[in-house]
Structure 1
């Protein structure tokens, strides 16, 4: 099993959320979507990312394992943004995030199957303008 640097799905998700690298994704034949979400409720962040994944046909919402894999990737990314405490409004925090979702096979051997990555980048802080700081999170799960 080999995981070449060119096929590291997490790296590409972070680069996509920070910048656009659509040429490489097209070459790898991966599905992707980017979007933005701001909220004081973590369930709204999850819903925005799930909706984008469904609208862009990154996951098939009729297949449970695909939605389940996406959910776990989102939660892992949120853990990074929220420093392990996936709470927002209940502890007087809000986020303004850009997100990227990628689906593809990060391995050269196709038998390894597809994976999904969710990258989040933006700000988190008190719900007062100027009281936030940057944060980033990444979640990767197999489908």
Structure 2
């Protein structure tokens, strides 16, 4: 029996770990498509756009296929809800984010008919736009493609 692939766990770990801490997960990464990046802003749309742009540039989703873009968008929003504690706003509430993100695409089920899924994880800081007054935050969103 094959072990189930946990794309959410992998995305979360990749967003949190430094390069020198990732080696135990290299073999798993052969089974998925991964995109990583960083974004900092007081503008929610800039955070969403940074992830979408990085994902499209790496070819993790097919840009002209609506269901893939739609799945990514909902996974991003779900992950941002975790970072913002359910209040999808940053600049409007006088707070800023500095985030690392990882996006993982794969088939988390043994039954291939279940299809591919996408996981978006954010890890970083959120807080008042004053250096040093931020605190850690994390969010995870998963959606089927």
Does residue 111 (structure 1) correspond to residue 109 (structure 2)? The answer is: no
Deviations 1:61-106 (A, max 9, x none): 1000000000000000000000000101111000000000000100
- Give the CA deviation at 1:9: 1.1
1:45-64 to 2 correspondence within 5 Å? 45-64=47-66
| 1:36 and 2:38 aligned | yes
C-alpha distance in 2, partners of 1:112/1:22? 24
- 2:16 aligned to which of 8, 15, 18: 18
TM-score, length-scaled by structure 2? 0.92
User: How many equivalent pairs are there?
Assistant: 139
Residue aligning to 1:79: 81
- Deviation at 1:3? 9.5
How much has 1:7 moved relative to structure 2? 0.7
> Alignment partner of 1:66: what SS?
helix
Partners of 2:27 and 2:50 lie apart in 1 by 25
State the Cα distance separating 1:22 from its structure 2 match. 3.2
**Structure 1 residue ranges, 4+ long, deviating more than 3 angstroms after superposition:** none
Alignment of 1:62-73 (within 5 A): 62-73=64-75
SS at match of 2:103: strand
Give unpaired runs (5+ residues) of structure 1.
none
Distance in 1, Cα, partners of 2:53 & 2:116: 20
CA distance in 1, matches of 2:27, 2:99: 23
RMSD: 1.5
